[in-house]
Amino acid sequence: MSTEKPLLLDTVANAAVDYKGRRVLRSNSGGWRSAYFIIGVEVAERFAYYGIGCNLIMYLTEQLGQSTATAAENINTWIGTASLLPLLGAFVADSYLGRYRTIIIASCIYILGLGLLTLSAMIPSISTSNYLGTNKVRLGSSELQVNLFFISLYLVAVGQGGHKPCVQAFGADQFDGEDPAECRAKSSFFNWWYFGICAGSSVAMLIVSFVQENLSWGLGFGIPCVVMVIALGVFLLGTRTYRYSIKKVKSPFVRIGQVFVTAIKNRRAKPSEIVIEEEACRTLPQHSSEQFKFLNRALQDKVCTVNDVEEAKAVLRLVPIWATSLGYAIVFAQTSTFFTKQGATLDRTIFPGFEIPAASLQFFGGLAMVFFIPVYDCIFVPIARAITTKPFGITMLQRIGIGMLLSIICMVVAALIEIKRLKTAKEYGLVDMLDVTIPMSVWWLLPQYVLSGIADVFTMVGLQEFFYDQVPIELRSVGLALYLSIFGVGNFLSSFLISFIEEATGGDGKDSWFADNLNRAHLDYFYWLLAGLGAIAFAAYLYFAKSYIYNNRKSTI
Segment 82-133, tens digit of pLDDT: 989 988 888 888 778 888 899 999 999 999 999 999 999 887 654 434 444 4
**Band (187; pLDDT cuts 50, 70, 90):** low
Instruction: Reply yes or no on whether the pLDDT at 236 is more than 90.
Output: yes
CATH of the domain at 439: 1.20.1250.20
Dihedral pair phi/psi, residue 439, rounded to 5°: -70, 65
Mean per-residue pLDDT, 261-279: 66
Listed residues 277, 297, 316: the one ending a domain: 316
- Whether 1 maps to a domain, the answer reads no
Mean per-residue pLDDT, 222-226: 94
Same domain, 481 and 348: yes
271, 295 Cβ separation under 8 angstroms: no
> How many residues are there in the chain?
557
Segment 452-495, tens digit of pLDDT: 989 988 888 888 888 877 877 777 767 777 888 898 999 999 99
3-class secondary structure for 372-426?
HHHHHHHHHHHHHHHHHCCCCCCCHHHHHHHHHHHHHHHHHHHHHHHHHHHHHHH
Same domain, 401 and 528: yes
The pLDDT, as a whole number, for residue 408 is 95
Residue-averaged pLDDT of the chain: 82
Q: Element (H or E) spanning 285, and its range?
A: none
Q: At what angle do helices 446-469 and 476-505 cross, to 10 degrees?
A: 140
The pLDDT, as a whole number, for residue 381 is 82
Rounded distance, CA 89 to CA 166, Å?
A: 8
Single pTM value for the model: 0.81
Same domain, 373 and 508: yes
The pLDDT, as a whole number, for residue 294 is 80
Segment 323-339, tens digit of pLDDT: 999 999 998 888 778 88
Listed residues 195, 230, 248: the one ending a domain: 248
Mean per-residue pLDDT, 211-232: 92
Same domain, 242 and 363: no
Task: Please list, residue by residue across 314-345, b when 16 or more beta carbons sit within 10 angstroms of its beta carbon and e when fewer do.
Answer: bbbbbebbbebbbbbbbbbbbbbbbbbbbbbb
The domain containing residue 100 runs over which residues?
13-248
The pLDDT, as a whole number, for residue 557 is 43
Same domain, 228 and 257: no
Separation in Å, CA 30 to CA 36, 116, 364: 10, 35, 35
Listed residues 298, 316, 334: the one ending a domain: 316
- Whether 5 maps to a domain, the answer reads no
Same domain, 415 and 515: yes
**What is the total count of domains within the chain?**
3
Same domain, 273 and 243: no
Q: What angle do CA 49, 487, 309 make, to 5 degrees?
A: 120
- Whether 555 maps to a domain, the answer reads yes
Strand partners, 347: 441
- Whether 24 maps to a domain, the answer reads yes
Same domain, 212 and 256: no
Same domain, 387 and 421: yes
**Band (191; pLDDT cuts 50, 70, 90):** low
82-86, 402-406, 546-550 — most confident range: 402-406
Strand partners, 244: 17
Rounded distance, CA 74 to CA 247, Å?
A: 40
